[in-house]
Amino acid sequence: MNDVSNRTLVLLTALAIAFSLFGVITILSRLGQPIPLITGLGATEIGNVSVTVATVLSIDATNNVSFGNGSNVGGVTLTTNGSVTNPSTFDEPGSFRIENDGNVDVNVSINSTRATLFITTGTSPLYNWSGTNATGDNGCTGVNNLTTANTVFGVGAQNTTVCDNLTYRDATDSVNVSIWVFIPEDTAPGQYAANVFFMAATV
Amino acid sequence: MVVKESEDISRKVVVIMLIVAILTSLLGTWTVISAINSITVVDNDKEQVTGLVGVAIAPDPNNPYHKQYFEQEEEDN
């Protein structure tokens, strides 16, 4: 077998260089990165001004929900929904209002404890939530999925979606979450409280 | 350099070409690694806020389950 000539070696080397360059250019193109080609200085210089707006994810729960105190004779249902008046001497607190005060749309989910860990005495208490429109400032409209069904806390998935896509623009950046509590008649007098966690994640 | 068809390329040219090939390969690798490192990975930020739901149940003499509280008071008096 004859030795490979220098001419063949040079050709193969040139091919290797070409393949190497082709590979680099292809990978950079796929990554969307600029290809660092050496260019001559153009006759016109163009200055670039770039402004980077950082994405900020931020939500705010504007109020806690305190129903005050009252009697639970006959078992009572309390709500922040405003559709019915709370019985006895219980207060009429507003619903939780979640405002997207960042600059990106977010998915909002909710989590809290189950009813028996909130109303710790009595037979079969209930503790539910439902998503409602934030009148005048509603950011969960149209195709955005707002969970309006009365949903039990602490059952099934840990975090349940309130709104798939809460927008951030000032006039349309809020959603309400109503709370529903049933306190049975045999619940003992005392104070009851539960934390409610609202989670936001960029869409 | 003019090379006649019948003449082979010198060993010197082959060595130079090999060095160029190695340098090109290294430079390409470095460029790609730099490009990958400069890509900003957008992380899905998350934030959690906490609210509180509270209610107080007052003893009620009309509530049969609260009788004990009032009987106790009467005994105390």
Q: What is the ipTM of this complex?
A: 0.71
Contact B62, A73 (CB under 8 A): yes
Same domain for A98 and A162? yes
Mean of the per-residue pLDDT values of chain A: 85
Pick the range with the lowest mean pLDDT from A46-60, A138-152, B57-71.
A46-60
DSSP state of B64: G
Same domain for A101 and A32? no
Flag whether pLDDT at A49 surpasses 80: no
The rounded distance, in Å, linking the Cα atoms of A58 and A110 is 15
Interface of B with A in 41-60 (CB under 8 A): 44-60
Query: In the structure, what pLDDT confidence band is assigned to residue A89 with cuts at 50, 70 and 90?
Result: very high
Longest alpha-carbon distance in chain A: 107
Contact call for B17 and A181, based on CB within 8 A: no
- Domain presence at residue A49: no
B6 CB neighbours in chain A (<8 A) are none
Residue A76's domain spans which residues?
59-202
- Domain presence at residue A50: no
Number of domains in chain A: 2
Same domain for A184 and A134? yes
Tokens of B75: 């005994």
Same domain for A160 and A79? yes
In A, minimum Cα distance to B19 occurs at A13
Of A131, A125, A128, A130, nearest to A76 by C-alpha is A125
Smallest CA–CA separation between B60 and chain A, in Å?
6
Of A178, A195, A186, A191, nearest to A125 by C-alpha is A186
Given A24, A104, A188, which is nearest B32 (Cβ)? A24
Same domain for A66 and A30? no
Contact A187, B40 (CB under 8 A): no
What integer is the mean pLDDT of A96-122? 91
Contact call for A73 and B10, based on CB within 8 A: no
- Domain presence at residue A46: no
Which of residues A45 and A100 earns the better pLDDT score? A100
Give A155-194 pLDDT, tens digit per residue: 877 889 999 999 988 888 889 999 999 999 999 999 999 9
The confidence score (pLDDT) of residue A14 equals 86
Same domain for A159 and A85? yes
- Domain presence at residue A52: no
Same domain for A130 and A78? yes
The ranges assigned to domains in chain B are 13-38
- Domain presence at residue A48: no
Map A10-77 to HEC letters: HHHHHHHHHHHHHHHHHHHHHHCCCCCCCCCCCCCCCCCCCCCCCCCCCEEECCCEEEEEECCCCCEE
Contact call for A13 and B14, based on CB within 8 A: yes
- Domain presence at residue A189: yes
